[in-house]
Structure 1
Amino acid sequence: MPSVMKTLKYYDDRGFSQLYIYPSDKNSVNKIFNSCEIVSIKVPQIFLKQKILKSYHLFNKSRFLYFSFIYTFKIKRIVKNFNPNLIYAHLQYMPLTAYFLFQRKKPIFVRYYGLVDTYKYIANGGFYRFEENLIPFRMNFSGYILVNDGTAGDLVALKRGVKKEKILFLMNGVDDYPILTEKEKGDLKNSLNIRKDKPLFLFLNRITKLKGITFFIDFLKNFKERDNVTFLVIGDGEEREVLLEFLNSKKIDYRYIRYVPQGQTYRYYQISDLFLSFNILSSLNNPVLESIKNNTPVLSLKRGFNIDFLNDYIFCYDDVEKMVEVAKNYLHLLKNNDEKELILIKERLKEFKKNYIKSWDERMEKELYFIKERLKNV
């Protein structure tokens, strides 16, 4: 999803009232900007443990009923008389509450998320049957789904019976970045004590399980040529110590930066030879798009639905073993300075930028038009 706060501010500036709901460990409501309420709803932690969702049994039925009724009642009690134009929800919980909570004339706009297990089990036709029977009814009659990762839209339409005209798919917008000179690149590498003649692989993301830290560690374990690479890790999160302890225990050559302002990340993409992404939700996440925008090749875990087109532009594979093999081959290209093949790889990135990546404003204008058209005469 585009930056939550940036998106909320965008619509607030244009006179829309908004409600953003997410499950949390406490109940709270905060008003921001002119007419936007951020609501957190206390939810039993067991209902947030995604790995339990693989099996379809009494637990999942109980979880469904909880989010359909008790969760909905809590939202109603906290929000009271607020009747916003736009409603967003965290993860997949809004579809569960849409019909019960918002029986009104204004349509609902849901930012839909799914998890890798969700995609896998729904695709096989055996996941959340009880929920699936109700969601098409709710969404077809009461709202629209906004997706940005290229994965949820077709899957929901195909497997959950939601009409395609109810779904808007737009990749996140990425604005242009300044281009570093060779001297600026050299100075930045020197400041990090990185050898100019040693390939640099970048991981820039939150260091959490959802961002695939377990896969990253598996990759490092199996990448036998890792001594020939410097790894630049940028980010923070609950798995930070796990990752750093592993890097230190294996004496891997790495540099770690805990935080880089969003407007400065481009500098690190541009000094890197390869960007690594292990996101378990989507291969079309923001860091991947930003890397492509900075013309830095991407090696990504393939996650999503109907994204085979990515194979024409980046290295995108279903498993870590294949990623290791490709990293080894790519390292060989760098060592041999195979200009012909390296130029071809970057030309594919330019083609992707031309065909798919829009600026933030261009992307939001399309979404705004979609929403305005559906708010007419209501």
Structure 2
Amino acid sequence: YYRIPYIQRQYGTFLFAKLNNWLELIKYHAEVISFLLPAQKFIITDDGTYGDRVAKHFNISNEKILFLKNGIDKEKKSLCKEECRKYLIEKLNLPPNAFLTITVSRLVKWKRVDRAINAFNMIKEKDAFLLIIGDGEEREHYESLKNNSNIIFLGALSNLEVQKYMVACDLFLSLYDLSNLGNPLLEAMNAGLPIITLNNGNTKSVYKNKNLILLPCSSEEDIVKNVYNNILLLKENVVLRSKIAKNAKLYAKEEILSWEDRISMEVKEILYWSNIN
């Protein structure tokens, strides 16, 4: 009514796989409507859910789309791996030689933490541990799935605590049904962790020079088996683990924006439209 410029921000989308199913689009009508509103600009997070393709499906022109991955905190003082590991080992009373795998997410169905749990349920080595950081509606269900005492639920932690845990660990898992390119995976790269994730959504866009292990999306049984096999592979092969970790950290340094630079791009867009008004 007042002709004020309108900028819309999408953190990600559930619509990509539903675009050809009108019943599903009706179910997600609120999100569909959000792409149909007459915005001057759509700022869309590239979290692996193809938000740019969804926007184009609804005839939003390239000029109206600002499609960006999230950033990482490059300015924060580097954490010492030895100190973080000592802190974690003592806090959780783990053996000094423990092989530590970590997942970080809200505990909701589509984050599929059950895949990591089921893979670790198969691991018999007593020095291998799965640390699950996060809380949510599925926590009780996920805890009921574990039959391996080496699976540890840590609940929700502060960002700094999560960063300490990441630096201390040996492997990061991200096995979501979609949106594997969220902050946890980018932060794991920045922490120099080897990563096992799935080739779904737009995950392949950060795959460069073997900087992570990208698994095919096959049957649930095959996914869990592949995760299990690759955990053991990286546990035993220190050289491979170090190479993937080094490439992941290099990618984060060269390809992922700092949060300051990332947010400044959005601020610049907002100021542009404010000046037009």
TM-score normalised by length of structure 1: 0.62
Aligned equivalent of 2:242, options 343, 362, 366: 343
1:160, distance to aligned residue in structure 2 (A): 2.2
The equivalent residue for 2:189 is: 292
When residues 188 and 138 of structure 1 are mapped into structure 2, their CA distance, relative to the original with a 3 A threshold, is closer
SS of 1:185's partner is helix
| Aligned sequence identity (%) | 26
Does the 8 Å CA contact 1:153/1:168 hold for their aligned counterparts?
no
SS of 2:207's partner is helix
The equivalent residue for 2:140 is: 241
Aligned equivalent of 1:301, options 186, 192, 198: 198
Letter in 1 for 2:253: K
Aligned equivalent of 1:363, options 253, 259, 262: 262
**Aligned positions of 1:2-17 closer than 5 A:** none
1:190, distance to aligned residue in structure 2 (A): 2.4
Aligned equivalent of 1:171, options 65, 69, 93: 69
Aligned equivalent of 1:257, options 111, 132, 154: 154
When residues 324 and 311 of structure 1 are mapped into structure 2, their CA distance, relative to the original with a 3 A threshold, is farther
1:288, distance to aligned residue in structure 2 (A): 1.0
Task: Give the Cα–Cα distance (whole angstroms) in 2 for the partners of residues 196 and 268 of structure 1.
Answer: 15
Q: Which has the higher contact order (CA 8 A, sep 6+)?
A: 2
Cα distance per residue 1:203-249 (max 9 Å; x no partner): 2222121322344445445xx335452111122111111111222xx
Alignment of 1:329 with 2:230, yes or no, is yes
When residues 143 and 210 of structure 1 are mapped into structure 2, their CA distance, relative to the original with a 3 A threshold, is farther
Cα distance per residue 1:257-298 (max 9 Å; x no partner): 223212221110011111112333411111111111111122
Larger radius of gyration: 1
Aligned equivalent of 1:311, options 187, 204, 207: 207
When residues 204 and 157 of structure 1 are mapped into structure 2, their CA distance, relative to the original with a 3 A threshold, is closer
SS of 2:253's partner is helix
The equivalent residue for 1:146 is: 43
Point out where structure 2 has 5 or more consecutive residues left out of the alignment: none
TM-score normalised by length of structure 2: 0.81
Alignment of 1:278 with 2:178, yes or no, is no
What is the aligned length?
263
Cα distance per residue 1:153-187 (max 9 Å; x no partner): 33124422211111111222211343224244224
CA RMSD of aligned residues (A): 2.8
Task: Give the Cα–Cα distance (whole angstroms) in 1 for the partners of residues 35 and 176 of structure 2.
Answer: 31
Letter in 2 for 1:345: I
The equivalent residue for 1:161 is: 59
